[in-house]
Amino acid sequence: MTRDRLILLVEDNDDDVQLTLRAFEASHIVTRIIVARNGEEALDYLFATGAHAGRDPLATPELILLDLKLPRIDGLEVLRRIRGDARTRRLPVIVLTSSKEELDVARSYDLGANSFVHKSVDFSQFIRAAHELGTYWLVLNQPPPAAG
Protein backbone atom coordinates (compact mmCIF):
# COMPACT_ATOMS: atom_id res chain seq x y z
CA MET A 1 0.00 0.00 0.00
CA THR A 2 1.40 3.34 -0.96
CA ARG A 3 1.28 5.97 1.69
CA ASP A 4 -0.46 9.25 1.22
CA ARG A 5 2.36 11.18 2.89
CA LEU A 6 0.16 14.16 3.62
CA ILE A 7 1.36 16.64 6.21
CA LEU A 8 -0.75 19.23 8.03
CA LEU A 9 1.41 22.24 8.83
CA VAL A 10 -0.05 24.51 11.49
CA GLU A 11 1.89 27.77 11.27
CA ASP A 12 0.79 31.41 11.31
CA ASN A 13 4.03 33.04 10.16
CA ASP A 14 4.01 33.28 6.37
CA ASP A 15 7.81 33.32 6.16
CA ASP A 16 7.99 30.15 8.17
CA VAL A 17 5.33 28.56 5.94
CA GLN A 18 7.37 29.40 2.86
CA LEU A 19 10.61 28.14 4.40
CA THR A 20 9.03 24.94 5.68
CA LEU A 21 7.41 24.18 2.34
CA ARG A 22 10.73 24.86 0.69
CA ALA A 23 12.61 22.63 3.13
CA PHE A 24 10.24 19.69 2.60
CA GLU A 25 10.22 20.29 -1.14
CA ALA A 26 13.98 19.76 -1.13
CA SER A 27 13.59 16.38 0.54
CA HIS A 28 11.22 14.92 -2.10
CA ILE A 29 9.45 12.73 0.43
CA VAL A 30 6.26 14.59 1.15
CA THR A 31 3.47 14.35 -1.36
CA ARG A 32 1.31 17.14 -0.08
CA ILE A 33 1.31 19.78 2.65
CA ILE A 34 -1.90 21.35 3.88
CA VAL A 35 -1.31 24.64 5.68
CA ALA A 36 -3.51 25.86 8.52
CA ARG A 37 -2.77 29.46 9.54
CA ASN A 38 -4.13 29.18 13.05
CA GLY A 39 -5.39 26.70 15.59
CA GLU A 40 -9.01 27.06 14.63
CA GLU A 41 -8.31 26.34 10.99
CA ALA A 42 -6.27 23.29 11.96
CA LEU A 43 -9.11 21.90 14.05
CA ASP A 44 -11.65 22.72 11.32
CA TYR A 45 -9.54 20.79 8.85
CA LEU A 46 -9.03 17.79 11.13
CA PHE A 47 -12.65 17.50 12.18
CA ALA A 48 -14.16 18.63 8.84
CA THR A 49 -15.99 21.56 10.31
CA GLY A 50 -16.32 25.27 9.38
CA ALA A 51 -14.52 26.05 6.14
CA HIS A 52 -13.65 22.35 5.82
CA ALA A 53 -17.17 21.03 6.35
CA GLY A 54 -17.89 18.24 3.91
CA ARG A 55 -14.33 16.92 3.90
CA ASP A 56 -14.04 13.27 4.86
CA PRO A 57 -12.89 13.47 8.49
CA LEU A 58 -11.48 9.96 8.29
CA ALA A 59 -8.95 11.08 5.68
CA THR A 60 -6.43 12.29 8.23
CA PRO A 61 -2.93 13.56 7.49
CA GLU A 62 -0.05 11.22 8.30
CA LEU A 63 1.79 13.84 10.28
CA ILE A 64 0.99 17.14 11.94
CA LEU A 65 3.65 19.82 12.30
CA LEU A 66 2.44 22.14 15.01
CA ASP A 67 3.73 25.56 15.98
CA LEU A 68 3.06 26.57 19.60
CA LYS A 69 2.53 30.29 19.33
CA LEU A 70 -0.64 30.67 17.33
CA PRO A 71 -3.32 33.34 17.33
CA ARG A 72 -6.65 32.56 19.04
CA ILE A 73 -6.31 28.86 19.86
CA ASP A 74 -2.66 28.18 20.65
CA GLY A 75 -0.67 25.10 19.73
CA LEU A 76 -0.96 23.39 23.09
CA GLU A 77 -4.74 23.72 23.03
CA VAL A 78 -4.82 22.30 19.48
CA LEU A 79 -2.74 19.39 20.73
CA ARG A 80 -5.07 18.86 23.68
CA ARG A 81 -8.09 18.69 21.36
CA ILE A 82 -6.35 16.35 18.91
CA ARG A 83 -5.54 13.98 21.74
CA GLY A 84 -9.03 14.35 23.13
CA ASP A 85 -10.82 13.10 20.03
CA ALA A 86 -10.99 9.42 19.08
CA ARG A 87 -10.56 10.26 15.40
CA THR A 88 -7.25 12.02 15.84
CA ARG A 89 -5.77 10.89 19.12
CA ARG A 90 -3.26 8.51 17.50
CA LEU A 91 -2.01 10.97 14.88
CA PRO A 92 1.71 11.67 15.12
CA VAL A 93 2.12 15.30 16.17
CA ILE A 94 5.48 17.02 16.02
CA VAL A 95 5.80 20.31 17.82
CA LEU A 96 7.92 22.50 15.58
CA THR A 97 8.77 25.79 17.21
CA SER A 98 11.42 28.48 17.73
CA SER A 99 11.23 27.96 21.46
CA LYS A 100 13.83 26.07 23.43
CA GLU A 101 12.02 26.81 26.71
CA GLU A 102 11.96 23.76 28.92
CA LEU A 103 8.43 24.60 29.97
CA ASP A 104 7.20 24.38 26.37
CA VAL A 105 8.97 21.07 25.85
CA ALA A 106 7.52 19.63 29.05
CA ARG A 107 3.98 20.81 28.38
CA SER A 108 4.06 19.50 24.81
CA TYR A 109 5.11 16.05 25.93
CA ASP A 110 2.60 16.13 28.78
CA LEU A 111 -0.16 16.72 26.27
CA GLY A 112 1.02 13.83 24.14
CA ALA A 113 3.31 15.30 21.47
CA ASN A 114 5.29 12.59 19.68
CA SER A 115 8.30 14.77 19.17
CA PHE A 116 9.59 18.27 19.84
CA VAL A 117 11.77 19.91 17.21
CA HIS A 118 13.42 23.28 17.54
CA LYS A 119 13.41 25.35 14.37
CA SER A 120 17.02 26.32 13.80
CA VAL A 121 17.84 29.81 12.58
CA ASP A 122 20.40 28.23 10.25
CA PHE A 123 18.31 27.31 7.21
CA SER A 124 20.73 24.60 6.09
CA GLN A 125 20.18 22.86 9.41
CA PHE A 126 16.44 23.27 9.03
CA ILE A 127 16.52 21.62 5.62
CA ARG A 128 18.40 18.67 7.13
CA ALA A 129 15.86 18.49 9.95
CA ALA A 130 12.95 18.48 7.48
CA HIS A 131 14.57 15.69 5.53
CA GLU A 132 15.17 13.58 8.63
CA LEU A 133 11.64 14.18 9.90
CA GLY A 134 10.16 13.17 6.56
CA THR A 135 12.31 10.08 6.34
CA TYR A 136 11.54 8.96 9.82
CA TRP A 137 7.84 9.72 10.17
CA LEU A 138 6.67 9.16 6.61
CA VAL A 139 8.91 6.31 5.52
CA LEU A 140 10.42 4.47 8.45
CA ASN A 141 7.69 4.89 11.03
CA GLN A 142 4.67 2.57 10.94
CA PRO A 143 1.63 4.87 10.99
CA PRO A 144 -1.21 4.17 13.45
CA PRO A 145 -4.16 2.17 12.14
CA ALA A 146 -7.02 4.27 10.83
CA ALA A 147 -9.37 5.36 13.55
CA GLY A 148 -12.79 3.76 13.38
Angle value at C-alpha 33, between 16 and 29, nearest 5 degrees? 100
Q: What whole-number distance in Å separates Cα of residue 62 and Cα of residue 54?
A: 20
Closest CB to another protein among 3 and 22? 22
Residue 135: closest CA among 59, 60, 26, 42: 26
Burial status of residue 136 (CB atoms within 10 A of its CB: 0-12, 13-18, 19 or more) = middle
75-84 and 39-47 helices, crossing angle to 10°: 20
Residue choice 99, 105, 112, 128 for contact with another protein (CB under 8 A): 99
Residue 9, interface with another protein (CB under 8 A)? no
In the DSSP assignment, the letter for residue 108 is H
Closest CB to another protein among 41 and 67? 67
Residue 121, interface with another protein (CB under 8 A)? yes
Interface positions, 53-92, toward another protein (CB under 8 A): 68-69
Q: Compose the 13-52 pattern: x for residues touching another protein by CB under 8 A, - for all others.
A: x-xx-xx--x------------------------------
User: Cβ 39 to another protein, closest distance in Å?
Assistant: 15
Contact positions toward another protein, by CB under 8 A?
13, 15-16, 18-19, 22, 68-69, 97-101, 119-124, 126
